Structure formats: C-alpha cells, structure tokens
Amino acid sequence: MQCCFGLTSQVLRCQTLSRTSGCTTATRFSMSASGYSRPALSNWFSISEMMSYGSITRGILAGTAAIPDLWSRDHTTDFSLPTEQKKFSVMGVHFRPGGAFPFLGLSAYELADTHLDLATIWGRRAGEIREHLVSAPSARERFRFLENALRSRLHGPLEHHPAVSLALDGFCSDHSRAVVRKMAREAGLSDRRFIDVFRSEVGLNPKRFNRIDRFQRVLEKVHRLPDPEWGQLAVEHGYFDQSHLIRDFLEFSGFSPADHLRRLKDLRDKGLHVKFNHLPVGK
C-alpha cells in the first residue's frame, strides 16, 4: 500500500486513471468523511482507496494535486503508479478547496507547488499511520482509522475565514472576469488583504484559483459534448475570446484543445475510461 495525500487547492478531487479492458483492472472505493463521522467533515476532505491488479497507465492530472506523500500543484502533475507488484493498493485523502490547512498546522501557501514526505510535517506519526493502514484487516477499518488520524491533527476549529468562504462560493456561481475584485469588495477587504487570507487557506492566490476553476469547468463540459464549439465555450465561461481559452488550455494541460479531443477519442476507442481532469500521456 502506498500512503498518499493530495493537497487539492483546486475544485476537483484527484482521481486515478485505470484501464477498463485488457490485462489491467482497478477498483476504486470512495467514502466522504461523513460516512463514518460528523457530516461537517465532508466539507473538508474525502477518503478513497484504489485496488489494482496488473499494470496501470501512466498519466497526468490537469489542474490538481496528487501522489505520493504530500504533493501540492497548481497545474498539470505528471504521475505514475508502481507496476512491479501484481496487486497493490493506494489510499488517498482528497482535500476540498481550502480543506487542508486545519490539519497541516501551517499555511497552505507554504506548500504550493511542492512535493515532500508527510513525515516532514507530521514526523514519525506519518510512518505509524502507514503501518497501521497496511495491517488493517478491512477497508472499513482503514477508512475509519485514517479519518480519526486526520481528526487528531486538527490545529484549530474547522472553519474558513469569512472572506474565503465568500470567495469559494462566489467563484462557483459568478463567472465574470471581475469576480476576484468583486469578492474582495463584498468581503470588505483590501485587494492585498483578500489575497493574503485566501492563499493562506487555499494555497493559491484567488486569481489563479479562479482560472483553474474556469478551465476545469470547460474540461467537464468538453467531455460531455461530441463536437464542442470552442468560441461559444469561451464566451460562456468568461474568456475574452477563443484564443484566450486556448492559452489557458495549453498552460494547464500542455495540449491544444484539438490535441486534447484527439487523445480523448483515441482512448475511448480503446475502451479506456478517462476522468475529465485526466490527460493521459502514455502506457
């Protein structure tokens, strides 16, 4: 078992790409924290476990954060999972936007764009957690133990600064280009103070968070459309024009929209199921 924490300062949880045909099979179990304890915890993180038999496809996660140990990224993350074992398990904690800082004991911004061993933050307790998860007799016990381990690491109340709560809700509902400044005004803060508070809890400055959020909403829609109209998508999601959307696509994924569609079609033709925030790069 590989113990993985994904510090997801973005909107989407980290998911794992798996082959649905051929020699590789992967089963993913997901449980929000509310499945075993107080419902309020599900606003901060969820826990999932993947069991795999055989090899697994290498890929990249677009605009998210992932594995192994503690990895925080604000754009594309290249990853691969071990293939030398015929059977292995990966268990992960997927933090909601702004969900990690109460459990880590430091500003989320200090971890932005970093990859470090969890023991750097939690000391020997990180290794003890892994050993307990490896020896746990059932998935239910692993979920319960990991949730309790997180609860024990709380460094304060489970609440956001009011300005952060306002902004996270606002970015989901207001897709205008001036939304960041609008949120600062509604919170009654100066632009500088608003940025400092937001990135301390979320890990990104609000403008970049909003860009990633917008890009992921475009990706989600593209995966549902057989032939997306890029100009219309750009207008609907607050881009200046289609070239603005293409620049973001290239920055956050490494692909042009046309390349992304070709890769997506090729994978689907091969029987592969691809999560919309995954951009596979090879086998």
Asked whether the beta carbons of 108 and 10 are under 8 A apart, the reply is no
Q: What's the confidence (pLDDT) of residue 277? A: 66
Q: What's the confidence (pLDDT) of residue 195? A: 95
Q: What's the confidence (pLDDT) of residue 274? A: 73
**Residue 69, beta-bridge partner list:** 4
Q: How many CA atoms does the CB half-sphere of 166 hold within 13 Å?
A: 17
- The three state secondary structure string of the chain is CEEEEECCCCCCCCCCCECCCCCCEEEEEEEEHHHCCCHHHHHCEEEEEEEEECCCCEEEECCCCCCCEEEECCCCEEECCCCCCCEEEEEEEEECCCCCHHHHCCCHHHHCCEEECCHHHHCCHHHHHHHHHHHCCCHHHHHHHHHHHHHHCCCCCCCCCHHHHHHHHHHHHCCCCCHHHHHHHHHCCCHHHHHHHHHHHHCCCHHHHHHHHHHHHHHHHHCCCCCCCHHHHHHHCCCCCHHHHHHHHHHHHCCCHHHHHHHHHHHHHCCCECCCCECCCEC
Q: Which domains does the chain have, with CATH numbers?
A: 2-152 (no CATH), 162-269 (1.10.10.60)
Q: What's the confidence (pLDDT) of residue 224? A: 87
Q: What's the confidence (pLDDT) of residue 42? A: 79
Q: What's the confidence (pLDDT) of residue 253? A: 84
The string of pLDDT tens digits covering residues 169-225 is 998 888 787 888 999 999 999 999 999 999 999 999 999 999 988 998 898 898 888
pLDDT per position in the chain (283 positions), as tens? 333 444 433 322 233 332 222 333 333 444 433 344 444 777 888 888 776 655 443 333 333 333 334 444 444 444 445 445 556 677 888 888 889 888 888 888 888 878 778 888 888 998 999 899 989 988 889 989 999 999 998 887 888 999 999 999 998 888 787 888 999 999 999 999 999 999 999 999 999 999 988 998 898 898 888 889 999 999 988 899 999 999 999 998 888 998 888 888 888 888 877 776 666 554 4
pTM over 0.85: no
